[in-house]
Amino acid sequence: MTSAHIVITGHAYGRRCTLEVGGDTLTWRAQRGMPPVAENIVTTVHDVRHARFLILGWSYAGIALALLGALWAASESIVVGGLGLIAGLALVAYRRSQPRQQLVLDLADRRLVMAVGPDSATPARDLVARVDRALATGEAPLAPPPLP
């Protein structure tokens, strides 16, 4: 069990959010809806049913645009098709160099999804490993989580 206090930052619902990890306690702070309503969830790593850290490194829109541009260049206009091909390849190259990173936590009644910032990738991976370890060993929390 770790007692270090870390903060994972990112975006959820189109706004900045944080996930504070203090020992086994997780505190999710986000805002959702219009007007923004605060969403504060306090739980433990033991209440998470499944955790994933996803690295999404492909731009499927860029691949589709590049293919469409290649088809257009072969059949219609090489200039317009070439521009589509170049734009699609640029989108693919950008996404490969700047992959989207997501942290997904499945709780009993909801799923928390955060687009993790680049500086929080390592703590997010560590959290997923911690949750997986708690699920594999079946350990129970020492105390209930405090209120936010």
For residue 5, name the pLDDT band (cuts at 50, 70, 90): confident
> Residue by residue, what is the 3-state secondary structure of the chain?
CCCCEEEEEEEECCEEEEEEEECCEEEEEEEECCCCEEEEEEEEHHHCCEEEEEEECCCHHHHHHHHHHHHHHHHCCHHHHHHHHHHHHHHHHHHHHCCEEEEEEECCCCEEEEEECHHHHHHHHHHHHHHHHHHHHCCCCCCCCCCC
Identify whether residues 71 and 93 lie together within a single domain.
Answer: yes
Residue 54 domain-assigned (yes or no): no
Per-residue confidence (pLDDT) for residue 146, from 0 to 100? 60
**Domain span holding position 69:** 60-97
Identify whether residues 64 and 35 lie together within a single domain.
Answer: no
Residue 104 domain-assigned (yes or no): no
For residue 1, name the pLDDT band (cuts at 50, 70, 90): very low
For residue 106, name the pLDDT band (cuts at 50, 70, 90): very high
Residue 77 domain-assigned (yes or no): yes
Residue 42 domain-assigned (yes or no): yes
Identify whether residues 42 and 11 lie together within a single domain.
Answer: yes
Residue 72 domain-assigned (yes or no): yes
User: Mean pLDDT, the chain, as a whole number?
Assistant: 90
The per-residue pLDDT for range 54-95, each reduced to its tens digit, is 999 999 999 999 999 999 999 999 999 999 999 999 999 999
Residue 108 domain-assigned (yes or no): no
Residue 92 domain-assigned (yes or no): yes
Residue 144 domain-assigned (yes or no): no
What mean pLDDT comes out for the span 13-20?
94
The per-residue pLDDT for range 120-147, each reduced to its tens digit, is 999 999 999 999 998 888 777 666 656 5
The reported pTM is 0.78
Identify whether residues 11 and 44 lie together within a single domain.
Answer: yes
Q: How many domains does the chain have?
A: 2
Per-residue confidence (pLDDT) for residue 85, from 0 to 100? 95
